[in-house]
Amino acid sequence: MVVIARRLAGHLARGVVMILVVATISFFIVRSIPGDPVAANVQKLVQQGMDQQAAEQATRVLYGFQPKGSLWEQYTQYMSGLLRFDLGQSITHAGAPVTQVLGEAAKWTVLPVLVGTLLSFLVGILMGVYAAIKRSGKLGDVLAISGSLLHGIPQYVLGLLLSAVFATLIPILPGDGPVDILFEPGFNAGYIGSLAQHAVLPVLTYALASYGGWILAMKSSVVTVLGDDFILAAELRGMKRSIIFRYIARNAILPLFTILALSLGLLLGGAVFIERIFNYPGLGLLLLDSITMRDYALMGGAFLLITVSIIVANILADLFYSAIDPRVRSGEEVSS
Amino acid sequence: MSVLLESSSTSAAMRRNFWAGVWRVMKRKPSRMVGAVLVLGFVFMGVFGPMFYPAQLPLDPTRITAPPSWEHWLGTDDQGRDVIALVVTGSRYVLLAALVTAVITVVVGTGIGLFSGFKRGRWDNVLMRLTDMKLTIPGLPLLLVLSTVWKFSSAIQMGLVLGLLGWGGVARAVRSQTLSLRERGFIEAARGLGLPTRHIVGKELLPSMAPYIAMNMLIAVTGGVYAQVGLFFLGVLPYESNNWGQMLNTAVFRSGALQVPSALGFLIGPLLAILLLTLAIVLVVDAMDEIFNPRLREE
């Protein structure tokens, strides 16, 4: 217990440092954008008839830091805003706070990512066990190669191919937007059905893109466990195959749970392509739009949120792993 | 003299054995031969491909985003240019940038991984913290945000940026390899003999890791292709020159290839190129895996 608490404290400290680093990166990027958007905004407001001080105040609210003063003053102001979860206001979303805009978008990313990842995890693990046991056979070979291929193909190629086939050539699924605008939002069959229909292709793309990785990871994990002494011992004792199989699967799956937690964090950032292709209004599309619209406060916020989700996933993965694997719990530094 | 002769003849024999092993692995699965041929094909296309076409590809205003036909096997783009010609001439930018990415990724990653794993101690701690940090910051979003400041104007610059952002994984992997190798007998013997670090790293560690590093380099090539094509596809970079990502972007967001089936060829061209390149590299890496890891050659 003490060990876990100490690990947690270490992770939290490291996570906070990471968040500070990323916030610093996005601050300096906004500061170094050519054309100085912050000063331009003050000037624009002054030209619209605002006095200098009010214009500066309005710009501060927009970007989260004072347009005047030394770099250090601007930086501390930005960071203190961050502590209050104040990321400034979005220019493109009628001046709504960035945090609110991010919250709106996050739900469109989280659900498809979650469903797609879990789906591919389940199928990939089953296929991975099979590929490991039959690894000298034809089928095992085909599974392994298909795994490497799917693992290797970039998300956007999969997304474009699926969209081209199922939304254009054989138009059986919608490939644009999260829902039909015909339906009244709310708990009615039409709206929910339309939501589900629009989610099929994005979810399928997530699932296919990560499925190859699961096969490969599970296969190599199972192959390692197969070589362990306790499996040999179980075989020599003449245990039933089904029990041996359960031994193998249970031991092989442990490291994969860690990857699962990590990939959930990573996919939030990788959603950019899928959301762009299927015009799905999640965090990735928000980040992209904020860049093309030059909405810098929103851009920094989206980037920060995506990073925070990865950091949190990292911490959860490690805690989870030490909770389920006694070897990590007792040994602390088993191998460095 | 005789010692010298003997050693050179054994190394020649070893080399012959090695190539015989390569040949055996290739022959056992013809798919690997396909991979090697495809990789060579892509190299040829990147180096010589653009020479087969005029600098300005001929436009055909009567055939704008035309579907595939006899003259244009994959149709034409929104200016009436042949899609296959665009894929071939666009390959140079893509492959050159990917090569630069891979070289930088592997050189920086191997350097840091070797140093960190071999020296251990405080330097190791600092470098690995840094690597972890790099691995945590999401690559694609960071690239997108950076695109507001940087313009990635040439293929080499593009490769440079991607390489400098991509070494984290290789550094971690090389470090763990180094850690396990340095405990092996032959390295300990070399250390016991008091050989200089330069010798141990250059003559003992690096050669035994070379195959692993080569595989990482091939994988980094695909990573470099995906990242840059993706950035151009998303349209956050200014139009520089003809390349696959630019084609995808134009096909999808300007010619509506996902709405109008006649423009599909325009989309399929670059997609096919990326898929074939992935296939080629996966097959070659698979073969290399078996050549260098004899344990994988199970009966």
Q: What is the mean pLDDT of chain B?
A: 82
Which pLDDT does position B9 carry in this prediction?
59
For the segment B182-191, what is each residue's pLDDT rounded down to a tens digit?
777 777 788 7
For the segment B266-280, what is each residue's pLDDT rounded down to a tens digit?
888 899 999 999 889
* Segments in chain A below pLDDT 70: 1, 35, 64-68, 266-270, 325-336
A32 reaches B (C-beta below 8 A): yes
Which pLDDT does position B117 carry in this prediction?
86
Which pLDDT does position B297 carry in this prediction?
52
For the residues B35-56, what does the mean pLDDT come to?
Answer: 87
Tokens (6 digits) for B170: 């290789």
What is the model's pTM?
A: 0.84
Band (B4; pLDDT cuts 50, 70, 90): very low
Q: How far is B217 from chain A (nearest CA, A)?
A: 14
CB contact under 8 A, B278 and A149: yes
Range of weakest confidence among A79-88, A156-165, B8-17, B193-202:
B8-17
In the predicted structure, residue B30 carries a pLDDT above the cut 50: yes
Which pLDDT does position B108 carry in this prediction?
94
d(CA B5, CA B2): 5
Q: How far is B176 from chain A (nearest CA, A)?
A: 9
Which pLDDT does position A335 carry in this prediction?
40
Greater confidence, B30 or B222? B222
Angle at the Cα of A96 (from A95 to A101), degrees rounded to 5? Answer: 135
In the predicted structure, residue B194 carries a pLDDT above the cut 50: yes
Tokens (6 digits) for B189: 């013997």
CA-based nearest residue in chain B for residue A154? B226
Q: Which of A144, A117, A141 is nearest to A128 (CA)?
A: A144
CA-based nearest residue in chain B for residue A135? B298
Which pLDDT does position A327 carry in this prediction?
62
Tokens (6 digits) for A110: 């989280």
Q: Which of B11, B29, B8 is nearest to B19 (CA)?
A: B11
CB contact under 8 A, A292 and B179: no
Tokens (6 digits) for B49: 């491909």
Across the interface, of A154, A276, A307, the residue whose CB is closest to B137 is A307
Cβ-count burial of B294 within 10 angstroms (0-12 exposed, 13-18 middle, 19+ buried)? exposed
- Cβ-based contacts under 8 A for chains A and B: 121
For the segment B93-143, what is each residue's pLDDT rounded down to a tens digit?
899 999 999 999 999 999 999 888 888 888 888 888 888 888 888 888 888
